[in-house]
Structure formats: C-alpha cells, structure tokens
C-alpha cells in the first residue's frame, strides 16, 4: 500500500500532525496505536511520537529531511531532550531556529535535494536552514503565498503543489527540489495539500475525505505510479 487514507481523531488534515523523511516519521503524541502501526507499514520507517510547544502539531512547527530536523524557538527543554535522542539514533543534525516565525513546517518545503523557503525568513535564517538540512535553498512562493510548506508536499520522487501555483513557481520548485512537480488538491478540494497530507519516497498519508481522483493525482505526482 503506497497511500493510506485515515484521520487523526476525526481530523482529516493529517499534515498538521506529522512530518516524514526517508529516515524517520515524527507524529503527534496523541496518535492511536492502531494508526501508528499502519503509518510505519506505509512509510517503511520508524515512527516516533513527540510534541512541540506542548502540542501535537508536529507538521506545523517541525521541518525535516533525511539530513536534519528544524525546530522553532518555542520548543520546550524537555522536548528538545527527546529530539536529541532521535538525532543521535539517526545520526542527523538538529537545530533550534531562533526566528520569530515559528510555524516552520508551514514555511519550508523540502526534500533531500533542496528547500523552498518563505521569503519572510532573513538571509541568516535561510543559511541556518540550509546548514541543518544540508541542502541548497531558495526563496519562493506557491500560489502567490509565502506558506510554501502548507501549499506543497514533496519527497525525493516528486512534488504536488497548490492548484493555483503558476508556471514560474512550478519551475522554481522543480529546479530547487530537483523533482517533477504537479498541481492538485486533497481532502475533497483543499488546495493546501501540505496541510492535508505527508509522505516520503515510500508512501504517504492522506485525509479520509480525499477523493479517488485526488489520490491518483497525488500518487502520480509523488512518483508512486
């Protein structure tokens, strides 16, 4: 199974609560055990339950690829210690970005080849993002918006963007992430596909209200077909 349709306690916006790479998946602490096992089966990586700022909103606050994990300054000390354990287990970087913008998952779209970064970040913050994720990055927008992480879902095999992304934005994302890009929706018409879904190169999770045609578009965009 390449794609799992599910919900988290009735919420279909799965991308708010999880992030995945080819090394690991991090999800909110409230995810049920029966769903936990299904996620591991689909993504084929170890899944870890953690929190950021005493919330389960991992997808909003956390950004990661196979090289590193970025956390916002609002992360608690006790939470940092748990992330340090994961860092040591995976042998990757861990950085707390001292930015006033804390919704890192909403503001960065990345894979193991590059990162599209919201232009609200300073050049210094952009360099720190590059250093942690060990990729080159460029400023960008999707559908004219700076919340590029909410407007896209990317893996090392492909990327799906907000349905209103224009040709210049699509080309920019393709050049940065070095994958083919398509546009689409999830959760029965939501263009904020990054908030609806999360994935790695092995598989993905989508909200239960995502239609068959939307799933097919997502699977094709992410290279699962």
* H helix intervals, the chain: 33-43, 58-61, 77-90, 104-107, 123-133, 167-177, 193-196, 212-221
Quick one: pLDDT at residue 144? Answer: 98
Domain count, the chain: 1
Question: Encoding tokens for residue 113?
Answer: 């080849």
Q: For residue 173, count other CB atoms closer than 10 A to its CB.
A: 27
Q: pTM above 0.85?
A: yes
pLDDT at 1: 62
Residue with tokens 């290279």: 223
CA angle at 118 for the pair 77 and 219, rounded to the nearest 5°: 95
Q: What is the dihedral of CA 13, 15, 16, 18, to 10 degrees?
A: 130
- Give the number of other CB atoms < 10 A from CB of residue 9: 11
Kindly list the strands in the beta sheet with 197-199, ordered across the sheet, starting from the edge strand earlier in the chain: 3-6, 204-207, 197-199
Q: Between the CA atoms of 202, 206, 208 and 211, what dihedral angle is there, to the nearest 10 degrees? A: -100
Q: What angle do CA 105, 68, 158 make, to 5 degrees?
A: 65
Domain boundaries, position 94: 3-221
**Ramachandran angles phi, psi of 39, nearest 5°:** -65, -45
Per-residue pLDDT of the chain (225 residues; tens, 9 = 90+): 699 999 998 999 999 999 999 999 999 998 888 888 999 999 999 999 999 999 999 999 999 999 999 999 999 999 999 999 999 999 999 999 999 999 999 999 999 999 999 999 999 999 999 999 999 999 999 999 999 999 999 999 999 999 999 999 999 999 999 999 999 999 999 999 999 999 999 999 999 999 999 999 999 999 997
Read off the tokens for 34. 């029966």
In the structure encoding, which two tokens stand for residue 145, read together?
């918006």
CATH code of 55's domain: 3.75.10.10
Check residue 32 and give its pLDDT.
83
8 A C-beta contact, residue 117 and residue 138: yes
């Amino acid at each position: 199974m390449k794609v799992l349709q599910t919900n988290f306690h009735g919420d279909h916006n799965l991308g708010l609560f999880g992030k995945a790479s080819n090394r690991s998946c991090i999800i909110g602490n409230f995810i049920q055990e029966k769903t936990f096992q299904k996620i591991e089966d689909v993504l084929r990586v170890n899944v870890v339950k953690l929190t950021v700022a005493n919330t389960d909103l991992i997808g909003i606050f956390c950004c990661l690829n196979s090289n590193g994990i970025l956390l916002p300054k609002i992360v608690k000390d006790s939470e940092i210690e748990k992330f340090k354990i994961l860092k040591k287990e995976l042998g990757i970087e861990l950085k707390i970005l001292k930015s006033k913008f804390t919704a890192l998952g909403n503001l960065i779209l990345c894979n193991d080849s590059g990162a599209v970064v919201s232009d609200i970040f300073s050049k210094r913050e952009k360099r720190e993002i590059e250093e942690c994720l060990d990729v080159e990055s460029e400023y960008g927008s999707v559908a004219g918006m700076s919340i590029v992480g909410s407007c896209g879902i990317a893996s090392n095999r492909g990327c799906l963007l907000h349905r209103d992304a224009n040709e210049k934005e699509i080309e920019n994302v393709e050049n940065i992430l070095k994958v083919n890009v398509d546009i689409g929706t999830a959760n029965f018409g939501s263009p904020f596909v990054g908030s609806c879904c999360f994935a790695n190169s092995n598989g993905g999770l989508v909200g239960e209200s995502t239609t068959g045609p939307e799933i097919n578009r997502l699977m094709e965009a992410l290279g699962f077909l």
